[in-house]
């Protein structure tokens, strides 16, 4: 999970509040110190931390809870509100025709992020083309070409050409009828005069709608000065922060950039090309505090699950059919949405599951179950009751597992079947599902 250490510390603060017998000044001072410690460890600017905790203390001790809200709930809401404030105002990129210029220093993840962003717009139904305008890094052309092929977007480049502005001019003509054009520009180890001059020439040719600065989260509070320097040079309109899954300094980068008034539009949450999330402070803090983020979960489902397959799965459930075949299909849909730990973090109250359950072990178990089912016959998949001792031995041997693993799968299947039967036996739930199914919603539209 992104900023897992900070999230765990903040969730412990909330537990302290909910577990207290009452809210008094001593408790407020104590949770204020806990929040300070958590934010400073996440590299958030000291001045910001002190401002936030002072505001939390003042509001918690002076504000009366709204009608129908307990003092504990009110303090939790205050913490939630104040954390959102330090992350700035969301500004989503429009799903529309536009030209995007990517800028940033070496090693920030700019080329990979160009591919991720291209995939994002492609999944939204737009035609996307990327231009390889990094003429200094030897592998940049090949890397962007490979990334573009992986995500099924168009690519333009001129290997050997050293004039970035010329490549962009030709590329813009090549993509004249394309909805979204993304330009991957050169970087440096520092923002030098020749880089600024080159970026300005590229901008003059492309006339980009967006100038997006790509920043590695590990730079921490230095993200602020970097964003300002690039903004002064080329007029940065928005920021993408990469590698948010692997550093304790991500809190510093998020809060530092927000202070520059450059909107953070996406965060990179992993190495894979699907690991790019639109950044919304409200959703981000909700997930961090263990309150879940169902909207992002639904969007992940929409982007990664075939709608016809999802509707067919619901149709089978409503008919009372749930065999190993259906269970296999559901597991396929689940794993297509990404790592299990990331999905769990989006469910309300489930962030703490990582304390009790080894998510990597659960992910491996899903893979093992799929291997086992791949070793079954169609007849066995459709009628699991047929699977007795001799068949269990044969299936285990074919899957390269032990007989107990096959029995564990069958036990899991029977539990899932009971759960589905319970859902379908709930008239209210069934009626709601039927209504959504007939209207074509199913949370997938």
Pick from 41, 27, 31, 40: nearest CA to 11: 31
Confidence of residue 307 (pLDDT cuts 50, 70, 90): low
How do residues 135-161 score in pLDDT, each as one tens digit? 998 899 999 999 999 999 999 999 999
Confidence of residue 15 (pLDDT cuts 50, 70, 90): confident
Confidence of residue 248 (pLDDT cuts 50, 70, 90): low
Q: How far apart are CA 399 and CA 335, in angstroms?
A: 19
Mean pLDDT of the region 415-431:
64
Confidence of residue 332 (pLDDT cuts 50, 70, 90): confident
Q: DSSP class of residue 136?
A: S
| 134 has a pLDDT exceeding 90 | yes
Mean pLDDT of the region 337-348:
52
User: Domains in the chain, ordered, with CATH?
Assistant: 4-85 (1.20.120.140), 98-291 (3.40.50.300), 298-439 (1.10.260.30)
pLDDT at 336: 60
Confidence of residue 29 (pLDDT cuts 50, 70, 90): very high
What sections of 124-192 are H helices per DSSP?
A: 140-150, 164-174
Model's pTM, two decimal places?
0.68
**Range with the lowest mean pLDDT among 61-75, 94-108, 320-334?**
320-334
Q: How far apart are CA 269 and CA 144, in angstroms?
A: 19
CB-based contacts of 335: which residues, under 8 Å, 6+ apart?
363, 366
What sections of 235-322 are H helices per DSSP?
A: 250-259, 281-288, 294-304, 307-318
| 70 has a pLDDT exceeding 60 | yes
Q: Are 417 and 324 in contact (CB under 8 A)?
A: no
Higher-confidence position of 408 and 420: 408
| 422 has a pLDDT exceeding 80 | no
**Range with the lowest mean pLDDT among 53-62, 185-194, 289-298, 324-333?**
289-298
| 435 has a pLDDT exceeding 60 | no
Q: How far apart are CA 424 and CA 129, in angstroms?
A: 46
């Amino acid at each position: 999970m992104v900023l897992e250490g900070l999230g765990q510390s903040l969730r412990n603060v909330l537990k302290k509040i909910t577990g207290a017998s009452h809210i008094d000044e001593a408790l407020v001072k104590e949770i204020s110190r806990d929040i300070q410690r958590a934010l400073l460890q996440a590299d958030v600017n000291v001045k910001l931390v002190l401002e936030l905790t002072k505001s939390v203390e003042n509001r918690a001790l002076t504000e009366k809870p709204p009608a129908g809200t307990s003092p504990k709930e009110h303090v939790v809401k205050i913490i939630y509100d104040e954390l959102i404030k330090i992350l700035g105002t969301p500004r989503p990129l429009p799903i529309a025709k536009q030209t995007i210029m990517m800028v940033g220093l070496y090693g920030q993840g700019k080329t990979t992020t160009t591919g991720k962003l291209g995939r994002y717009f492609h999944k939204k139904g737009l035609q996307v083309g990327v231009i390889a305008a990094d003429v200094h890094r030897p592998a940049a052309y090949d890397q962007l070409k490979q990334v573009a092929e992986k995500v099924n977007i168009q690519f333009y480049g001129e290997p050997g050409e050293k004039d970035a502005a010329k490549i962009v001019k030709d590329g813009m003509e090549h993509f004249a009828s394309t909805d979204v054009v993304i330009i991957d520009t050169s970087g440096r180890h520092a923002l030098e005069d020749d880089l600024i001059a080159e970026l300005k020439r590229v901008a003059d040719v492309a006339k980009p709608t967006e100038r997006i600065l790509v920043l590695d989260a590990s730079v921490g509070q230095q993200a602020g000065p970097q964003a300002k320097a690039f903004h002064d040079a080329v007029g940065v309109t928005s920021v993408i922060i990469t590698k948010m899954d692997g550093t304790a300094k991500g809190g510093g980068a998020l809060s530092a950039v927000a202070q520059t008034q450059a909107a953070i539009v996406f965060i990179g949450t992993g190495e894979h090309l699907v690991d790019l999330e639109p950044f919304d402070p409200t959703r981000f803090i909700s997930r961090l505090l263990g309150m879940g983020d169902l909207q992002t979960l639904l969007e992940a489902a929409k982007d990664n699950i075939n709608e016809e397959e999802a509707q067919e799965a619901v149709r089978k459930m409503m008919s009372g059919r749930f065999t190993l075949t259906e269970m296999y299909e559901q597991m396929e849909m689940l794993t297509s949405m990404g790592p299990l730990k990331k999905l769990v973090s989006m469910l309300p109250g489930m962030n703490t599951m990582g304390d009790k359950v080894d998510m990597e072990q659960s992910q491996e178990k899903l893979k093992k179950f799929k291997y086992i089912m791949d070793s079954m016959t169609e007849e066995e998949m459709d009628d699991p009751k047929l699977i007795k001792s001799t068949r269990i031995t044969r299936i285990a041997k074919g899957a390269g597992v032990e007989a107990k693993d096959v029995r564990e799968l069958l036990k899991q299947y029977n539990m899932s079947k009971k759960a589905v039967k319970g859902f379908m036996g709930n008239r209210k739930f069934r009626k709601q599902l039927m209504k959504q199914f007939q209207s074509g919603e199913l949370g997938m539209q």
